[in-house]
Structure 1
Amino acid sequence: MPRYITLSPALYEHLRREAALNDRTIKAQALHWLAIGKALEASDLYTHSELTALLERFEADTRPE
């Protein structure tokens, strides 16, 4: 059974552009990003504060101007 989430228009646009650049569907790109996030969170490569800073930087880059 499908489940739905709501994305900000800016994040959706970023997702759509990245999907096109990587020759993926929007769904495949979103799943790719989810897998990366899951792997990073489970790894010992970054601390929680480093991941938080990275996410804040990403959110600033995807905010509409």
Structure 2
Amino acid sequence: MPRYITLRPELYEQLRQEAARRNRTIKAQALHWLTIGKAVETSGLYPHTELSALLERFDLENQFE
């Protein structure tokens, strides 16, 4: 049974562009990024505050693309 999520338009566009660069479908690229995020978050190597700061910085750097 399919499940759906809503993405911010700019995140969807980044996903689409990266999928094209990597010769992946948008779904495959999204799953790839989700897997990386899960691995990083569950590794215990990075405190939540550090990950939050990194994501905030990433969002700021990429808001004008």
Q: How far is the alpha carbon of 1:45 from its aligned partner?
A: 2.0
Q: How far is the alpha carbon of 1:42 from its aligned partner?
A: 0.7
Regions of 4+ moved over 6 Å: none
Q: Which residue of 2 aligns with 1:13?
A: 13
Q: TM-score if structure 2 supplies the norm length?
A: 0.89
Q: Pairwise CA RMSD of aligned residues?
A: 1.3
- Identity fraction in percent: 69
Render the CA deviation track for 1:27-50: whole Å, top value 9, x for unaligned.
Answer: 000000000000000112211111
Structural mapping, 1:27-42, within 5 Å: 27-42=27-42
Which structure 1 residue ranges, 5 or more long, are not aligned?
A: none
Aligned equivalents of 1:64, 1:2: Cα separation in 2: 32
Render the CA deviation track for 1:4-44: whole Å, top value 9, x for unaligned.
Answer: 00111100000000001111100000000000000000112
Q: How far is the alpha carbon of 1:64 from its aligned partner?
A: 4.4
Q: Across the two proteins, how many residue pairs are aligned to each other?
A: 65
Q: TM-score if structure 1 supplies the norm length?
A: 0.89
